[in-house]
Amino acid sequence: MRAGGSFARQMLLVPVGRLRKADPSVATSTALPGLDPVELRSIEQAATAEPVEQPTPTTIPLLPGERTLDRRIKFALVQACTLSSLMLGMTAIFLAVIGRPDGRAPMYGALCLLACITFDGLDGALARKFGVASPFGVQMDSLGDMTSFGIAAPVVVFATLRGSVPTPVLIAACAMVACCAAIRLARFNVSPKDGRFFCGVPTTMAATVLAVTVLLKTTMGSALPAEALVFGVVLLAIAMVSSFPYAKLAKVVKLPPTLFLLPLVGLVWNTQVTFGLLVLVYLLSGPVIWARQRRATARMA
């Protein structure tokens, strides 16, 4: 231990510059006794080595590919649609919170939500048409959807049903919509995409159902009790985080035209009841499609 301490003191006190200029044999005999030339050479190389340059962090471009003026303008237009959807969602929140003397604030909030849905569909379509889709745009779209459909929609529902049901029950139902929307959007970003079905009800569809329900209630009155509406809100939230496959709108439009006659007649007869039945059929279509796929898989096995 005494020898080791003496050696450590010698290592700390020997000037590095002297080691570089001195002859290895001299340094071995005088500066560092007991150290062979190989170890001395490694010390000299470590002392004279050039410092390793750390890589400087690079910024990831928001628009990948060629950054021409034309593509930048198109990219800015797409992001403007996303921000418009977000700002309309914030406007719906403000209208629901502040209220109006005539009590129509939820109705205007629902109209803002429908406008959000329009801009949300427009930004994706423009991004694909212009060829300016990017990971940044995907994240912006998710954040806008969470603001408009995950927060603004349940706030508008809360303002509409406030006073009709116990407040704790209504808060729990609306908070459930926000939590399920966040889970749905996060899962969508990290999951492989299926061109035929959605995995769970998309947040856009859920917000559409909530906005139309609020519009019907504020303009035509409620044909269903408030408790039934709250139950429908909870059911819609659960459907968003379910693993049931739901058909995309493009597949629904391709159905035979005769299937649309009965809903049209029902909308003329009683709009609210028919709309509620259509929503219920769509929610039940997921488990039905899932059961048919399981049956087909079992037959193939």
What does the pLDDT look like over 90-128, one tens digit per residue? 999 999 888 776 678 889 999 999 999 999 989 889 999
pLDDT at 16: 44
Residue at token pair 């604030």: 105
C-alpha of 95 from chain center: 25
CA dist., res. 154 & res. 78, Å (int): 26
CA dist., res. 153 & res. 211, Å (int): 7
What does the pLDDT look like over 174-217, one tens digit per residue? 999 999 999 999 998 888 776 778 889 999 999 999 999 999 88
Contact 222, 229 (CB under 8 A): yes
pLDDT at 18: 44
CA dist., res. 147 & res. 182, Å (int): 10
In 3D, which of 160, 268, 166 has the Cα closest to residue 221? 160
pLDDT at 57: 52
3-class secondary structure, 245:
strand
pLDDT at 105: 85
Strand partners, 198: 246
Give every residue of the chain whose pLDDT is below 50, as ranges: 1-5, 7-31
In 3D, which of 151, 146, 238, 254 has the Cα closest to residue 201? 238
- For 118, 172, 185, 186, 235, the CA distances from 168, given in Å and listed in that order, are 32, 6, 26, 27, 17
3-class secondary structure, 247:
strand
Strands 197-199 and 245-247: antiparallel
Strand partners, 162: 165
Contact 160, 106 (CB under 8 A): yes
